[in-house]
Amino acid sequence: MLIRAGHLVAAPTETVYGLAADATDSDAVAAIYAAKGRPSFNPLIVHVTDSAMAQTIGVFSPMALKLAEAFWPGPLTMVVPLRVDGRISPLVTAGLSTIALRVPAHPVMQALIRESGRPLAAPSANASGGISPTRAEHVMASLGHRIRMVLDAGPTSEGIESTIVAMGEGVVRLLRPGPVTADQITDLTGLPVVTGGEGDPIEAPGQLASHYAPKKPLRLNATQAQRDEFLIGFGDMPCTINLSMDGNLTEAATNLFAALHQADASAARAIAIATIPETGIGLAINDRLRRAAV
Ligand code: TXA
Ligand code: MG
């Protein structure tokens, strides 16, 4: 199959479509960076079928395991120390001694890992810095000419990339907000959740200030459209398209990237988006919007 032969396959997860390759094959992993135009210092997430497989690659403390078992399969990525016998290409971790691991809930990505028998390195399947794909058409538009196969399973259910955490001293460090919220993590572990690392730049190398960016200028906290603007609304308001008419944040997250793709492809000169409440998954939406607007 394509993965075993070292090729790239784009496949859906419950968050966004990923660009998958065998994480143990350095040539295949190098091809991911090349296809995305991604800087090689920005490490990749490795996808596995379950926590038993994860533990053959990374070292899990009891608390890390508790988190993993509660939220896997699902939109949580755990950054843990890399096992020396983990057989992962050093290109995946960009030379770090830690590795980002996740068990996706989507049956197609699960089947791809199982059938290939390999841990799969998979970043979001978009050109580096662009908007993440939530539909196969987004992948085709961004990377279609560079990959052999896209497995199309329709729109993704979560719509926004996984939450990334690492264990700290008596705290959980949130490296990227996502569908699993800080409150859910604290409820489970009893530990406070702190954002960012200890000023350590390698902790979230992908969290660059400008990311997830449309090609057009993006204006935040808009209440109405200015001339030639594509207005993305939230809640009942006049707009070009609405993320959620009844102000549902989960629905808004699911629709966010498709709305940005649509706005980017439209005839409008610029994009504007309504204020999104800073609660629950709204934190993750605003994290992406702030980077998209830089
Ligand atoms: O929902 C998702 O997580 C999607 C789907 C495809 O699984 N994947 C995704 O991958 O968003 P990507 O490559 O676009 O984002 C991975 C993030 C980057 O910000 C990267 O810097 C961070 O994970 N990362 C990877 N390994 C890391 C490590 N060892 N330490 C800290 N951050 C790490
Ligand atoms: Mg990405």
pLDDT digits (tens, 9 = 90+) for 53-100: 999 999 999 999 999 999 999 999 999 999 999 999 999 999 899 999
Average pLDDT of the residues of the chain? 94
| CB-ligand 1 contact for 98 (6 Å cutoff) | yes
The pLDDT value recorded for residue 206 is 52
| CB-ligand 1 contact for 110 (6 Å cutoff) | no
pLDDT at 201 over 70: no
d(CA 18, CA 276): 26
Ion ligand 2: residues, CB < 5 A: 124
pLDDT at 198 over 50: no
- Nearest ligand, CA of residue 12? 1
pLDDT at 138 over 70: yes
d(CA 27, CA 3): 12
Please identify, by atom number, the ligand 1 atom nearest to the C-alpha of residue 205. Answer: 21
Q: β-strand 17-22 against 9-12: which pairing, if any?
A: antiparallel
Nearby residues of 252 by Cβ (< 8 Å), 6 or more positions away:
234, 243, 244, 276, 282, 285
pTM score: 0.92
pLDDT at 136 over 70: yes
Q: How far away, in angstroms, is 161 Cα from ligand 2 center?
A: 8
Nearby residues of 145 by Cβ (< 8 Å), 6 or more positions away:
none
